[in-house]
Each structure stands twice: as C-alpha cells, then as structure tokens.
Amino acid sequence: MGLVSRPPNIVFIGKKPILTYLNATLTLLANEPTVTIKARGRSIVTAVDVSQMIVKRMSAMGYTVSGVRIFSERLESKDGKERNVSTIEVDVSKSQNA
Amino acid sequence: MGLVSRPPNIVFIGKKPILTYLNATLTLLANEPTVTIKARGRSIVTAVDVSQMIVKRMSAMGYTVSGVRIFSERLESKDGKERNVSTIEVDVSKSQNA
C-alpha cells in the first residue's frame, strides 16, 4: 500500500540485489512504453548498470535508453542537516522499430 | 606526455579526491565552452557529483549540464576476462545567457 502514491512507471534503486531492479524494470516494460530508473548517491551506478543490462542483453527485445537526467535534491540526513544529493533518472523505452 | 592523445576538453574521473576533478573541470571551462566529465563503474557517482557542484555552487558563473550519455564499454579485467563496464559522460557548458 505504501507504493500507491508513486508513479507506476518508476523503479527506485535501493539496497537490494541488482537483479531485483532488473526484474522490476522488465516487468514494468511489459506494460509501459517507457520506464524510468531513478537513483540517488552511490546507487547511481546501479541505475546505469540496470539500464545497460537491459539494452545489451535484451537487445533482441529492442530496448533503448531514451533519456538521461541528472540533478541534485536537498535531503535531510540522519544528523538533521540538509545536504545536496546527486540524483539520476534513466528512461528505458521500447524502440520504435521493435 | 601521456596525456597528449586525450582530447583536451575531457576530465576522466579516477581515484583522487573529488576536488581534484572539480578544479580540473573548472580550469578547462575557463578556455573551453564545453567540458566532458567521463567516468566508469563506481566513479560514475563522482562524475555526477562534480557536475552538480559546478552547476549549484557556481550558478553565478552560468554553468549548465548540456548533455548526459550512458553506455557500456568492453574492458579486460585483471583476470584476463572481458567485462562490460558502465560509463557516463556529462557535458558541462557555459550558459548562452551568461
């Protein structure tokens, strides 16, 4: 129930094994033309890895990276201070000619 | 002399402190309209961090992220096997209206 307010085509990268996010993204791509993989801080590399696993290993399925955005978000850290945290959003889409 | 063959407007992120790459990027931006920050694997987050430090803290200078590309490169690892390594390139440019 905690996921209700999240847009349905976003996969947020956390601390689970990378295959969790690969499967989540591929599951969403079965029904959505574009899925956004989002990550903050050290998880950014995992977001890029997931997108590349999909594009490289599933190339027969015709998936491409259709957009990459980077920005920073102000988040409150555990010590109560606000910090800028780098964020990435990678859009993966079905190719037009697939 | 080992840097001669590298294009002059690319900063490659390695294992040094992040301020090293921040300074290198800002130095190049004094003479180049666009500088590309490139990183592989776990250094990807550092490339994003450097770009965001420049855009956020130097906003009076009018720098923007003008492009982000992600892809993977086949590299030989220490055990002799080839592996796909995720790579990012972030273009930082002077704003048109700066």
Measured at the CA of B51, the angle between CA A8 and CA A11, to 5 degrees, comes to: 15
In angstroms, the Cα distances linking A75 to A3, A14, A85, B56 are: 20, 16, 7, 15
Residue from the list A71, A86, A90 with its beta carbon closest to the beta carbon of B70: A90
pLDDT in tens, A28-50: 999 999 999 999 999 999 999 99
pTM of the predicted structure, to 2 decimals: 0.86
Which residues does chain B have within 8 Å of residue A71's beta carbon, measured at their own beta carbons? 52
Q: What is the ipTM of this complex?
A: 0.84
- Whether residues B56 and A88 touch (CB distance < 8 A) is answered with no
Task: Using the predicted structure, report yes or no on whether residue A56 has a pLDDT greater than 50.
Answer: yes
The token pair at A54 is: 């999909």
pLDDT at site B72: 94
Looking at per-residue confidence, does A2 or A96 come out higher? A96
Residue from the list A65, A84, A88 with its beta carbon closest to the beta carbon of B56: A84
Alpha carbon of A4: minimum distance to chain B alpha carbons (Å): 29
Residue B5 to residue A63: CA distance in whole angstroms: 34
Q: Which residue of B has its CA nearest to A87?
A: B48
Residue from the list B51, B65, B86 with its beta carbon closest to the beta carbon of A48: B86
| Residue B28 phi, psi (nearest 5) | -65, -35
Q: Best mutation site among A45, A82, A85 for testing chain B: the one with the most B CBs within 10 Å? A: A45
B91 within 8 A of B68, measured Cβ to Cβ: yes
